[in-house]
Amino acid sequence: MAINRAAMKELPIQGYLDYKGIPYTIEHQNLRLVEHDSLVVNLTKNQFYWNSRQKSGDLGDFIAAYEGVDNKEAWVKWSEYGRYFNGQDADTKQKYTDRPKADYQFDYSRWRTAQSTQNSEDYLVTERGLDRDFVKKLAQSGLIQQGMARQDRETGEWQKPALLFPWYDENGKVVGLDQQGTTVDFEKFGKRGTENKIAAGADTRYGYNFHTGNGADELIVFEAPIDALSFAQLRFDGIKDKNVTLLSLSGTDHQKVLAELDRMNQANGHLPKRLIMATDDDIAGYKAADIFDTLQFNGMENLRAIPKDGKDWNDQLKSGENRFELMSMADSHDRLTSLEAFADKTKATTKLSETKTIKDAHQVAASGSGRKISRYDRQRERDARKTQNRANNEKIIHEALERTANYKNDPVEMQRYLDFIANGQNYSPRNTMLIYGQRPESTIVMGYKQFEERGIQVNKGEKGMKIFGAPTKLQSIITSDGNKVYWRDATAEQRRAAKEGQLDTRSVLHYPIETVFDVKQTNATLDQLPELLPNRPVNLATDNSPEQLERIYQTLKDYATQEQKVAVIDDHPDSIQFLANNKPMTSNGIAKGAMVMDKRNLDNASIVLRNDLPLTDRISTLAHEMGHVSLHKNTKLDSHPVHIKELQAELTSYVILKNMGIEPGEGSAQYMNNWTEGLQKLADYKDKDNTVLSDVTKASTAITQYLSDKLTNGEAITYEQRVDKTQEHAKVAANQAMQDQTATETQGRTR
């Protein structure tokens, strides 16, 4: 049977990348490999170009170059992929044959850029270690721009605006640009953590460039704009009074260097006196520089510069050191030879080690079938790992909730937990319990990115706490046997049946598990702590003035009337007699207050307070009764015994008062004495849904967040401040409401 070589050459390189699971980014008509950013695939021509290794060709050439095999083995792999591709459906094949047009021209006037560059400046300073003043000058001179925030096409999530590095030609026109993503996502973007690409249609004869003086005497070449900027900051004193041009290749394409040299020669009437190849201190960087070892131009000296404290110049900048090595191109070539010999030796040792390793069951199955593990097998393995990771995280969460629930057995632990709630962290009650259950000593808790946005880094090697993130809706398929399968995990047959209406589909809430850290796990300084602390509504420990107390009482009363929808009766002349007749006497005499329910209409409730109470007693009594309203107004009369309800209200009141700055002090022993008996009964109480403590957390959090929304150190918050905080708390409340709904539905299904 004759081999159709023309058909083999038509097999899409992009399809092979997907088949092998090789990550890449799309740049209009080109693909760029994530692991080797100098390897570009032209989709229109279906050809690859590996600039740093000076290799190019069709799919067969790609397999030989990328996988490091000879032509015979490359042909076997090529043919194997051909059989796989030809067996795919027409839609899959069409995906790779609909290639973009090659005549797209870059037009900077059509780009949407933000008026502010604040996000980009913050990224360069906090992530890349550049000086704030230096970055501001770059923004003012147009050397950095900021794109617009956009939605990820796959996930729908909003991405931060990209940092743009415009390429200026000799006439000051922007002819291309680099896009540097500022959203850090290692799972999506691999070891880089961010998305980097070149704008579609950019004039590849140019690159990101800037100069000191007229730039005519020296050309310094880098692999990326960040490296050029890092070098400029490090060596500013050495170049500021010279005529130096700095050029980024956005990879390792030596043709850009030759084009720039030609432009400099035409503009200045001479070549620069020195060409310095400042590419990375790795094999790819040395290979990019090595080409110029044999290129000699009259009057121009070729040199190689490498950082001493990192792979690239940004690593050098972040190291805090200012060291580099300048060498001849001959010395650079010798070092490249040594690096390649070492790499070959390491590769040979690795291969030998792999042949001696006993294969696992999956490898045996794959080798027994005479084929390599396919892209889909690898995807199944990744899915299995994700499932296992989530199972591990859910175990951590379950154990944390269990530990928190057990605090009801220990009055001292209970007080510590309630003090933690009173700190006012902006988390849902369930996540508050999770955080405390994993790290009781936590004080200020945020996610990695939240700390990062405030210029704070989580210390390397720190183990975070697991909490539930905001829920998202995922589509699922109900199989013929009644099982639920997420769309992402469904087979092609199941998806087809769902599209045709043969299987039912449902949208279900999915709670991603996220990681947070305590401030003690970061490099935060004492000066930064005040900005991180939650808003303190009041502090009665330092200001016990009548005006302060009155504002607090009125704010609590507003919450009762506006949010809880109960009347507060605090000035009726018959209130003492009413309480004496309807509430049992305590060791302190007639009760100070009560929640009164209308048995004919449970929605109609009131809080009655004695009219002779001092303002401080009014506050504590109202807080206690508000706890009753939050916890028990809309529950069945027999949901919990009276003594459990009283304990819940007492715990809720404690959190509210603590949040306002009332430290128990000498009264702490009294609190403990009062709780000990109640907690002993609670320990023996069969709380089948484990809600007694979680309800206290929920009720007290709602009230303290309301106080935080309305007051700061006893002063009323402005309208603008309140809008910002209300929106923030609304997200938390919505998250908790959906979690509660899901928990209720789950309990209903399992009964």
For 147-174, write each residue's pLDDT tens digit. 888 766 656 677 788 899 999 999 999 9
Q: Give me the mean pLDDT over the 185-210 stretch.
A: 75
Q: Give me the mean pLDDT over the 102-107 stretch.
A: 67
Give 463's DSSP letter: -
User: DSSP of 398-447, one letter per residue?
Assistant: HHHHHHHHGGGG-HHHHHHHHHHHHT--SS-HHHHHHHHHH-TT--SEEE
Q: Which structure tokens are listed for 596? A: 């009164």
Q: Which of 348-362, 381-395, 473-487 has the lowest mean pLDDT?
A: 348-362
* Angle in degrees, CA 120, 124, 126, rounded to 5: 110
Q: How many CA atoms lie less than 13 Å away from 93 in the CB half-sphere?
A: 12
Q: How many CA atoms lie less than 13 Å away from 29 in the CB half-sphere?
A: 17
The answer to whether the predicted template modeling score (pTM) of the entire model surpasses 0.85 is: no
Token look-up 């990326």 returns 224
Q: Which structure tokens are listed for 618? A: 């009014």
Q: Are 244 and 211 in contact (CB under 8 A)?
A: yes
The pLDDT, as a whole number, for residue 375 is 54
* Angle in degrees, CA 45, 12, 201, rounded to 5: 40
The pLDDT, as a whole number, for residue 12 is 92
Q: Give me the mean pLDDT over the 705-718 stretch.
A: 62
In sequence order, the 6+-apart residues with CB closer than 8 A to the CB of 352 are: none
With H, G, I as helix, E, B as strand and everything else as coil, classify residue 686. Answer: coil
Q: Which of 185-194, 204-213, 295-304 has the lowest mean pLDDT?
A: 185-194
How far is Cα 11 from Cα 210, in angstroms, rounded to an integer?
A: 42
Q: Are 486 and 506 in contact (CB under 8 A)?
A: no
Give the amino acid at 200.
A
Q: Are 151 and 158 in contact (CB under 8 A)?
A: yes
How far is Cα 252 from Cα 285, in angstroms, rounded to an integer?
A: 7
Give the amino acid at 242.
K
Nearest to 519 by CA among 431, 451, 425: 451
Tell me which of 697 and 230 has the higher pLDDT: 230
Question: Across the chain, what does the average pLDDT equal?
Answer: 76
Question: How does pLDDT run across 716-741, given as a tens digit for each residue?
Answer: 444 344 334 444 444 444 454 444 44
With H, G, I as helix, E, B as strand and everything else as coil, classify residue 39. Answer: strand
pLDDT tops 60 at residue 506:
yes
Tell me which of 356 and 45 has the higher pLDDT: 45
pLDDT band at 396 (very low <50, low <70, confident <90, very high): low
Q: Are 29 and 47 in contact (CB under 8 A)?
A: no
Nearest to 288 by CA among 249, 321, 327, 319: 249
Q: Are 216 and 272 in contact (CB under 8 A)?
A: yes
The pLDDT, as a whole number, for residue 33 is 83
The pLDDT, as a whole number, for residue 597 is 78
Dihedrals phi, psi of 49, to nearest 5 degrees: -135, 115
User: DSSP of 71-82, one letter per residue?
Assistant: HHHHHHHHHHHH
Q: Give me the mean pLDDT over the 341-352 stretch.
A: 61
Question: How does pLDDT run across 623-641, given as a tens digit for each residue?
Answer: 888 888 887 765 554 467 7
* Angle in degrees, CA 397, 744, 687, rounded to 5: 70
Going from the C-alpha of 573 to that of each of 65, 612, 615, the distances in angstroms are 93, 9, 17
pLDDT band at 210 (very low <50, low <70, confident <90, very high): very high
Give the amino acid at 83.
R
Question: How does pLDDT run across 548-587, given as a tens digit for each residue?
Answer: 778 888 888 888 888 888 889 988 888 888 888 877 655 4
Other CB atoms within a 10 A radius of the CB of residue 198 amount to 24
How far is Cα 627 from Cα 638, in angstroms, rounded to an integer?
A: 17
Tell me the β-bridge partners of 567.
606
Tell me the β-bridge partners of 71.
none
How far is Cα 20 from Cα 38, in angstroms, rounded to an integer?
A: 19
* Angle in degrees, CA 511, 446, 189, rounded to 5: 65
pLDDT band at 655 (very low <50, low <70, confident <90, very high): confident
Dihedrals phi, psi of 299, to nearest 5 degrees: 80, 0
